[in-house]
Amino acid sequence: MEKYFSSKRLERTFRELVGINGRSLSERPVADYLKEQFSHLNLTVEEDEAAAAIGGDCGNLLVRMPGRNPSAPGLIISSHLDTILPTEKLKIVEKDGVYYSDGSTILGADNRAGVAVILECARALTEGGGSPIPLELLFTVAEENGLLGAKALRRGWLKGKLLYVMDSDGLVGRVVNGAPFGVKIAVTIKGRAAHAGIDPESGVSAVVIAARAIAGMKLGRIDDLTTANIGTIRGGDAQNIVPEMVDVIGEVRSLEEENLSKQAAHMEACFRSAAAEAGGEIIFYSHPDYPGYFFPEDSRPVDLVRRALRRMGTALTLESSCGASDANIINGLGIPALVLSVGYLKPHTKEESLPRRELINAGRLVCELVHQASLK
């Protein structure tokens, strides 16, 4: 398979992919591009019903490559189709072997780089006579705005026994073997409306309750394992009305479930205390957003990556992160899933970049994972 891998073709594919505008919930142009490319390889692209479930224009895509050894445990390689911001009118710049945008948009390497390396692996495998093991290539939608595509995956659609998500920044060789549990928090704060100029004394400001609660709250990095955030505040009707209602959305993430529960309880207590003091009330709602995971150094998912990287002469770096990804959701489906770096830097910013050598290394890593998974 290695002799069929083409770095020039991979680079060309990456350039084509970042030139397609397709942010979250609007990935159809990217999906259509992939369907055309896979049709040239005589591979069928399945599309699920995620679009209707999440309000997008495209579902998750899945390509199945039968293995020459059909009884071998199947492998799944995944990436997401969307970008966090538009890439319309993107102008790609290459300087000293590094890809950038011209600064007017993001580059979109997160995660068109992941899509490109998976497509190149499929091409190399096809030209080399097919995959040695049953291989599934999964492309999810709406990852950037809440892992929505992965959350809509139908249980049982994926048949593989191990999954790698090509979706992390940093040099190739970085493996996210630990990721957080997440809780979403939604709070409705009820005060009492009054005319702000004529009779403010009769009012109870829901905005003031929210402000006092948040001011007394531990937020940001709580400890080495835990983060918390208040993300949105919406409410009020007019500048001359004491606001009666405010809705607050936040989150807690932690690598330890006990810390997660403790922080969520602290945030609820702050809202309840502020409401009671002011004469208002709250409706506090929290629910699990995604499960966490951790794979030790000697686990099979980590060992397979280690062997693949060793063959490439690249060091393995393990890291636990408070960032969530599709791997969190897929682990919750009972399929062990790890996140691997694709080599891009400063994602979600106009300074985003991708060294050409890292793109090529990521492509070689995907091919090597398939090879190593075929060995007993």
With contact defined as beta carbons under 8 Å apart, do 57 and 25 qualify? Answer: yes
With contact defined as beta carbons under 8 Å apart, do 4 and 124 qualify? Answer: yes
- Does 248 or 3 have the greater pLDDT score? 248
pLDDT of residue 1: 62
pTM: 0.92
Please calculate the CA angle 315-326-121 and round it to the nearest 5 degrees.
55
* Res 233 pLDDT > 70: yes
pLDDT of residue 155: 94
pLDDT of residue 158: 97
* Res 210 pLDDT > 70: yes
* Res 366 pLDDT > 80: yes
pLDDT of residue 291: 95
The CATH number of 181-290, from 3.40.50.1820, 3.90.1660.10, 3.30.70.360, 3.40.50.10420, is 3.30.70.360
CB atoms < 10 A from the CB of 82, how many?
26
pLDDT of residue 11: 97
Q: Is 122 exposed, middle or buried (0-12, 13-18, 19+ CB in 10 A)?
A: buried
The CATH number of 2-179+292-373, from 3.40.630.10, 3.40.50.620, 3.80.30.20, 3.40.50.720, is 3.40.630.10
For 84, half-sphere exposure in the C-beta direction (CA atoms, 13 angstrom radius) is 14
Q: Which of 11, 143, 244, 352 is catalytic?
A: 143
pLDDT, one tens digit per residue, over 182-191 is 999 999 999 9
Average of per-residue pLDDT across 141-151: 96
Token code pair at residue 26: 């609007």
Contacts of 229 (CB under 8 A, 6+ apart): 219, 220, 250, 251
Tell me how far apart the alpha carbons of residues 60 and 140 are, in angstroms, rounded to a whole number.
5
Residue for token digits 């966490």?
292
Query: pLDDT over 90 for what percent of the chain?
Result: 97
pLDDT, one tens digit per residue, over 236-247 is 999 999 999 999
The candidate with the shortest Cα–Cα distance to 247, out of 267, 230, 261, is: 230
Q: Is 358 an active-site residue?
A: no
Tell me how far apart the alpha carbons of residues 340 and 168 are, in angstroms, rounded to a whole number.
6
Parse the chain into domains and list their residue ranges.
2-179+292-373, 181-290
| Mean residue pLDDT across the chain | 96
3-class secondary structure, 266: helix
Which residue stretches of the chain are H helix?
7-18, 28-40, 50-54, 109-127, 148-151, 206-215, 257-278, 300-312, 326-332, 356-373
Residue positions counted in the chain: 376
pLDDT of residue 237: 93
- What is the 8-class DSSP label of residue 349? S
Q: Which of 82, 144, 326, 352 is catalytic?
A: 82
Q: Is 247 an active-site residue?
A: no
pLDDT, one tens digit per residue, over 154-199 is 999 999 999 999 999 999 999 999 999 999 999 999 999 999 999 9
Tell me how far apart the alpha carbons of residues 263 and 266 are, in angstroms, rounded to a whole number.
5
pLDDT of residue 3: 80
* Res 2 pLDDT > 80: no
**The pairing of beta strand 181-190 with beta strand 281-290:** antiparallel
Residue for token digits 């290459």?
94
Residue for token digits 């531990």?
218
Average of per-residue pLDDT across 360-371: 97
Token code pair at residue 262: 């403790």
* Res 57 pLDDT > 90: yes
End-to-end Cα spacing for the chain: 18
* Res 376 pLDDT > 90: no
Instruction: Please report the DSSP string for 155-213 in residue order.
Output: TTS---SEEEEE---SSTTEEEEEE-EEEEEEEEEE-B--BTTT-GGG-B-HHHHHHHH
Tell me how far apart the alpha carbons of residues 252 and 223 are, in angstroms, rounded to a whole number.
12
Phi, psi at 212, each rounded to 5°: -65, -40
Instruction: Label residue 171 left, alpha or beta by phi (over 0 means left) and psi (-120 to 50 means alpha).
Output: beta
Token code pair at residue 35: 């369907």
pLDDT, one tens digit per residue, over 15-50 is 999 999 999 999 999 999 999 999 999 999 999 999
Strands across the sheet containing 353-355: 92-95, 98-101, 353-355
